[in-house]
Amino acid sequence: MPVRTKKGSTGPSLERRSKFGTVTPRYDASGDLVAWQVRYPDPKRPGKKVQRQFKPDMEHEAHQWLEEERHLVELDRKNIQE
C-alpha cells in the first residue's frame, strides 16, 4: 500500500474510526505525513485515552496494533487476562 506523503493527496488512507478507536494521519506544517496516531478510550481510566504513534511507513502496523489492543481489552473485560 503506498504511503501518502502530502496532506490532501489522493490515496486509500484517511482517518479510520471504528467503535473501538482511531488511526489518524499526522502532518507537519508543510503538509508531509510524519506519523500515524492511534488512540482508543482507556477502559481502566474513564475519560483518558491510550495512544501510540507509528512512523509514516507503518500504517498497516498501526491498524494491526489497534486490533490487538481491542482483543486485549476484550480479554480483560471477560476476566480472562488482565
Rounded (10°) CA dihedral 10, 13, 14, 16: 160
Q: Quote the pTM value.
A: 0.75
CA distance 40 to 22: 7
The mean pLDDT of 21-27, rounded to a whole number, is 96
Strand ranges, E, within 1-82: 16-17, 22-27, 33-41, 49-54
Reported confidence tier of residue 1, pLDDT bands at 50, 70, 90: very low
pLDDT at 82: 75
Instruction: Tell me 55's DSSP state.
Output: -
How many Å is the maximal CA-CA distance in the chain? 46
Q: Locate 18 and state its grid cell.
A: 471504528
| pLDDT tens column, 39-63 | 999 998 999 999 999 999 999 999 9
